[in-house]
């Protein structure tokens, strides 16, 4: 399994359980709980306040194989040359009504987002209250980052709510 390294607070596998097949946390008939054998964060993973996250990836090895069903599928890996002409799909639980202080949703959310060039992200994420700053002033975008997002008011991966590049920071 693959996840974001920032989602893994400890590498103690007894602290976690991984459930597959869950589309709604109020209904558990389709889920299957897996024990974790190991967790490996990318060695160069780091997070710096107001500067972004680098190498935000972790691998989770399960103790037993996953049975694929309609609700449990492997991710598709990109195999093309020009990723910025594609849409990406984000999946997550999000927060009710898209509010940062909202309660977690019960239903798994999914949204398509246009993939963007890193130059577009540098400009958008370093524009604050109409002022443009050098890359790294607020958020650092590097070559190894994958950027996605809409220009104006759309869904994002964290809060499943309104996200506007120009007013976010």
Question: Does 111 lie in the same domain as 40?
Answer: no
Of the candidates 23, 47, 62, which is a domain's last residue? Answer: 62
Question: What is the model's pLDDT at position 167?
Answer: 31
Q: What is the pLDDT of residues 119-157, one digit of tens each?
A: 888 887 777 767 777 776 777 777 777 788 777 655 665
150 and 90 co-located in one domain: yes
SS3 at position 2: strand
pLDDT at 158 over 80: no
First-to-last C-alpha distance (Å) of the chain: 32
Given the DSSP bridges, would you call strands 36-41 and 32-34 parallel, antiparallel or unpaired? unpaired
Can you give the pLDDT at residue 97? 65
Give the residues across from 58 on adjacent strands: 3, 41
**Largest interatomic CA distance in the chain:** 52
pLDDT at 163 over 60: no
Query: Would 132 be classed as within a structural domain?
Result: yes
Which range of residues forms the domain containing residue 8? 2-62
Q: Is the dihedral of CA 51, 105, 58, 120 positive or negative?
A: negative
Question: Is residue 50 scored above 70 in pLDDT?
Answer: no
Burial category of 124 from C-beta neighbours within 10 Å (exposed 0-12, middle 13-18, buried 19 and up): buried
Same domain, 100 and 33: no
Q: Report the alpha-carbon distance of residue 54 to residue 60 in Å, rounded.
A: 19
């Amino acid at each position: 399994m693959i996840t974001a390294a920032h989602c893994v607070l400890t590498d103690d596998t007894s602290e976690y359980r991984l459930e597959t097949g869950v589309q709604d946390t109020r209904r558990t008939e389709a889920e299957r709980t897996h024990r974790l054998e190991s967790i490996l964060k990318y060695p160069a993973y780091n997070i710096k306040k107001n500067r972004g996250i680098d190498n935000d990836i972790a691998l989770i090895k399960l103790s037993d194989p996953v049975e694929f069903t309609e609700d449990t599928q492997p991710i598709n890996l990109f195999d093309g040359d020009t990723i910025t002409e594609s849409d990406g799909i984000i999946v997550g639980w999000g927060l009710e009504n898209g509010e940062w202080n909202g309660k977690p949703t019960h239903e798994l959310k999914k949204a398509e987002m246009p993939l963007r060039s890193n130059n577009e992200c540098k400009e958008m994420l370093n524009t604050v209250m109409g002022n443009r700053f050098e890359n790294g002033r607020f958020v650092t975008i590097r070559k190894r980052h994958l950027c996605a997002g809409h220009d104006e008011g759309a869904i994002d991966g964290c809060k499943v709510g309104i996200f506007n590049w120009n007013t976010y920071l």
